[in-house]
Amino acid sequence: MKYLRRLLLPFSLLYGLVVIIRNFFYDAGLFKSHKFSKPVISVGNLEVGGAGKSPMTEYLIRLLKDEYKLATLSRGYGRKTKGFLIEDQESKRGKQEDEEFGFSNRIYTLSQEIGDEPAQFHQKFPDITVAVCEDRVYGINQLLPSHDLILMDDAYQHRAVEPGLSILLFDYNRVNEPHFLLPAGNFREPFSGRWRAQIIVVTKCPPSILHKEQVQLANKIAPLPYQSLFFSAIVYQPLLDLKGNRAVVRIDNETTIFLLTGIANPKPLVKHLEAQTVQIIHHDYPDHHPFTLKNIAKLAEEFEACPSQKKIIITTEKDAQRLEESWLSHGRQNGEPLPVFVMPISMEFLNDTGGGFDKMITDYVREYTTNNSIH
């Protein structure tokens, strides 16, 4: 792999040159970045792959949804539709709002229609609006008349929008890795691009991380004077069934876990489960992998053949959005669906800094709303 990265370095240099020129054009005003009259908060990262954007977006939803009418806006990675789509309490399944891209009469699952992360937001927070659009400027303009604020998921590189507040995430497990650009590395833009954020959060930290290591990470990231740096950890919640109901499941050393994932970095989840049992059979697929009946049939075959008296299947919230429930009983001798459980996660700020983070977010929304109402 190391030698392959070296071979790809010339392409990374070319890619980096294009990104630098593009960012320069936006910074110089040669390409237009749109500002908006209502609060727009962006959550993103510099790397490809999971840095905890969905848990951060959900944290913001919980913080703001009771006081403001909010909408999330994502590209909808992996969806089979195009254009602007909206899901809320009043929307109808399969409704496509943007006539520019045409209407589709085909019936998709929610994940196929809007993508797995937006589907997860809609399932967990049915009282908010969840929208997707490749053109974020168009999407925001559609949402703003009927909403107080917009949360943009995975939009740090979408320079056509100038958010009022930008939150940049760094995965604790990758901060010290080389900052190579695609395709030799995982960075979408140079490390210097971090200057556009007002808030930087190091995610997925060990809860017991020492102050000394936090200082080392802070020196590595080198936040600018106007940037606030926070550290956060993953919190694993009790298991749920596929309908979102609390499941009563006891895991011990005699339990065999079949783990089904299609996420960028399943290592933290594997480590969490290994603390409960060493008997883990991992069906590991690439990020956003569209599960098929063949994938589930393979899982079912291995599950049936396993002699353990205590065995369950665990998947992530995002992966659960791409599972067809009808597949889970396909070919089983007893006709019962496979015992699939979902492992929800949330995030918490370390060092008792959550209150400070919350205040920065709420102060921005209130001040922005007040200032714009005056004008």
Q: Residue 136: its pLDDT value, please?
A: 97
Q: What CATH class has 256-343?
A: alpha beta
**Residue 334: band (very low, low, confident or very high) from pLDDT cuts 50, 70, 90:** confident
Choose between 107 and 152: higher pLDDT.
152
The whole-chain average pLDDT of the chain stands at: 91
**Residue 184: band (very low, low, confident or very high) from pLDDT cuts 50, 70, 90:** very high
Q: Residue 42: its pLDDT value, please?
A: 98
Tell me: domain 30-236+350-374, CATH 1.10.287.3510, correct?
no
What are the tokens at 335? 């006709």
Tens of pLDDT, residue by residue over 292-321, are: 999 999 999 999 999 999 999 999 999 999
**Residue 153: band (very low, low, confident or very high) from pLDDT cuts 50, 70, 90:** very high
Q: What's the alpha-carbon Rg for the chain, to the nearest Å?
A: 22
Task: State how far the Cα of 54 lies from the Cα of 355, in Å rounded to an integer.
Answer: 20
Q: Residue 94: its pLDDT value, please?
A: 43
The mean pLDDT of 122-148, rounded to a whole number, is: 96
Q: In 3D, which of 134, 58, 127, 123 has the Cα closest to residue 98? A: 134
Domain boundaries, the chain: 30-236+350-374, 256-343
Burial of 94 (0-12, 13-18, 19+ CB in 10 A): middle
Q: Residue 349: its pLDDT value, please?
A: 98
Q: Residue 97: its pLDDT value, please?
A: 44
Q: Sheet containing 280-284: give its strands across.
A: 280-284, 256-261, 311-316, 340-343
Q: Residue 370: its pLDDT value, please?
A: 64
The mean pLDDT of 71-77, rounded to a whole number, is: 95
Query: Containing H/E element for 24?
Result: helix 2-27
* pLDDT at residue 375 tops 60: no
Q: Residue 96: its pLDDT value, please?
A: 44
Judge whether 133 and 73 are in contact, CB under 8 Å. Answer: yes
Choose between 325 and 350: higher pLDDT.
350
Task: State how far the Cα of 80 lies from the Cα of 109, in Å rounded to an integer.
Answer: 10
* pLDDT at residue 214 tops 50: yes
Q: Residue 151: its pLDDT value, please?
A: 98
| % pLDDT > 70, the chain | 92
Other Cβ atoms less than 10 A from the Cβ of 207: the count is 10
The mean pLDDT of 272-283, rounded to a whole number, is: 96
Tens of pLDDT, residue by residue over 99-128, are: 444 444 455 788 989 999 999 999 999 999
**Residue 336: band (very low, low, confident or very high) from pLDDT cuts 50, 70, 90:** confident
Q: Residue 374: its pLDDT value, please?
A: 40
The mean pLDDT of 356-371, rounded to a whole number, is: 89
